[in-house]
């Protein structure tokens, strides 16, 4: 993944739900280029932030063994634009999980007001997909650590969420 569309996680409960935040800033180039003269956060990037939040839930539930990619956006509704200074609070709930994928319900709020809602379908893709790795060594672990998942994460039994052996491959954290 090249771009992070969330700043950090503030809540993460294994297999259930997660909350992350993203502060919209005038310093971000995409907010100026989307509609020249009207700096708003593009809805497609809000979808990506929601997908990153929900995707981490699915990836963790699978023990970080497979990469999780957004396969289908079943529904997306935007109630108002996100503008510079807004703090988007992304919430994701895992509705279903299987070996092949996951379904999540997601919302974005600004100051407690519903900004967007979407239902997403994710596919699980292992390293053998198309014969090549989807991520460089260390990239997945770096994302999880940068976003603070282990700082706020809770395992299904309520204990602190910890990195698993699946994040370590051939002596390298992945």
Domains and CATH numbers, the chain: 8-173 (3.10.129.10)
Q: What is the pLDDT of residue 1?
A: 43
Average pLDDT over residues 115-140: 75
Specify whether 109 is catalytic: no
- Point out the catalytic residue in the list 17, 32, 34, 124: 34
**Rounded Cα–Cα distance for residues 74 and 50 (Å):** 13
More confident residue, 17 or 64: 17
With a cut of 70, say whether residue 58 has pLDDT above it.
yes
**Burial letters for 33-56: b for 16+ Cβ neighbours within 10 Å, e otherwise?**
ebeeeebbbbbebbbbbbbbbbbb
Bridge partners (DSSP) listed for residue 154: 13, 160
For residue 117 the two structure tokens come to 């809602």
pLDDT (0 to 100) of residue 70: 93
Predicted confidence (pLDDT) per residue in 138-171, tens digit: 677 777 878 888 889 998 888 988 877 666 544 4
pTM, two decimals, is: 0.85
């Amino acid at each position: 993944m090249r771009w992070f569309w969330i700043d950090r996680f503030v809540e993460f409960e294994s297999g259930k739900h997660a909350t992350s935040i993203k502060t919209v800033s005038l310093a971000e180039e995409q907010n100026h280029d989307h509609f020249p003269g009207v700096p708003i956060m593009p809805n497609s990037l809000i979808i990506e932030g929601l997908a990153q939040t929900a995707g981490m839930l699915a990836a963790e539930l699978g023990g970080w063994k497979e990469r999780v990619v957004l396969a289908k956006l079943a529904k997306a509704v935007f109630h108002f634009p996100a503008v510079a200074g807004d703090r988007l609070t992304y919430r994701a709930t895992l509705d279903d999980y299987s070996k092949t994928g996951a379904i999540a319900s997601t919302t974005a709020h600004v100051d407690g007001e519903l900004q967007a809602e979407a239902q997403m379908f994710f596919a699980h893709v292992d390293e053998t997909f198309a014969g090549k790795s989807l991520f460089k060594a260390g990239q997945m672990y770096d994302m999880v650590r940068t976003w603070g998942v282990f700082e706020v994460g809770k395992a299904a039994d309520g204990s602190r969420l910890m990195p698993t052996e699946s994040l370590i491959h051939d002596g390298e954290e992945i």
